């Protein structure tokens, strides 16, 4: 096992450590948030960019029964808020930082959130560096470069979501996940028609996080429910 990766793994908050994969339950509606209960998943992702504006009522989030992952996704990578400044996005996450176990920020925009990320590290909050490829599959060299950037910026986990169009592209992701000497724990997942197949394969071959939705609303094409994730992992 990669000793450097093992050492980094040991610095993660307990809900992100091995055994992997950890299941992340994504919530994008206030009604579903209010129905949360412990034990449904390992972490719950609060989508502050959700189309339900009530999710940005900060009083809603004072008592979360599960370890909390904060995400305010940029519109260019799948976020629902089209007109919000980068400063407002940063401040929305910072306001809830004392409650968080982890936060997610796009690799392409790490420069805009360096103060936020420094504060998160100081609080012991894990920082997930993410990249999303809508409608395409990245080259392995692109993935290597993203991991290099995330590592250089002091991020704790690398999350990559892409859109495979056939089994060959699913297998490309698998070979990158399993044959590359990674410097960070990697969460890899497919979207679209091959979402179920890719997420199942990657979760069983070292992907550290498996995302599924809680309630009735998926937040990515082909995203599974948390219950479906658990069923796949129990096979």
Please tell me whether the peptide bond between 19 and the residue prior to it is cis, using omega within 30 degrees of 0.
Answer: yes
Q: Could you give the angle at which helices 114-123 and 86-96 cross, rounded to 10 degrees?
A: 10
Q: What is the CA radius of gyration of the chain?
A: 16
DSSP assignment letter at 50: -
Exactly one of 61, 74, 159, 182 is catalytic; name it: 159
Please tell me whether the peptide bond between 49 and the residue prior to it is cis, using omega within 30 degrees of 0.
Answer: no
- Give the separation between CA 1 and CA 81, rounded to whole angstroms: 41
Known active-site residue 31:
no
- Residue 44: count of CB within 10 angstroms of its CB: 24
The pair of three-digit structure tokens given for residue 46, joined into one six-digit string = 């609060």
Exactly one of 31, 61, 74, 132 is catalytic; name it: 132
The pair of three-digit structure tokens given for residue 25, joined into one six-digit string = 């339950």
Known active-site residue 132:
yes
- Give residue for tokens 């610095």: 11
Kindly list the catalytic residues: 132, 159
């Amino acid at each position: 096992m990669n000793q450097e990766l093992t050492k980094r793994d040991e610095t993660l908050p307990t809900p992100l450590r091995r055994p992997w994969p950890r299941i992340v339950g994504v919530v994008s509606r206030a009604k579903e948030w209010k129905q949360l209960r412990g034990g449904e998943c390992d972490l719950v992702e609060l989508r502050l960019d959700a189309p339900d504006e009530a999710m940005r009522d900060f009083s809603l989030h004072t008592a979360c029964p599960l370890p909390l992952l904060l995400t305010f996704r940029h519109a260019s990578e799948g976020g629902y808020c089209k007109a919000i400044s980068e400063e407002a996005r940063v401040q929305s996450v910072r306001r809830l930082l004392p409650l968080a176990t982890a936060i997610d920020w796009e690799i392409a925009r790490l420069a805009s959130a360096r103060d936020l990320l420094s504060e998160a590290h100081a609080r012991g909050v894990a920082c997930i560096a993410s990249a999303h490829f809508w409608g395409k599959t990245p080259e392995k060299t692109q993935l290597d470069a993203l991991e290099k950037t995330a590592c250089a910026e002091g991020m704790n986990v690398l999350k990559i979501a892409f859109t495979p169009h056939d089994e060959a592209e699913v297998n490309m992701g698998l070979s990158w996940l399993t044959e590359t000497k990674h410097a960070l724990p990697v969460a890899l997942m497919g979207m679209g028609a091959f979402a179920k197949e890719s997420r199942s394969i990657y979760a069983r071959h070292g992907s550290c996080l498996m995302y599924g939705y809680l309630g009735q609303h998926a937040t990515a094409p082909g995203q599974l429910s948390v219950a479906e994730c658990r069923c796949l992992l129990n096979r």
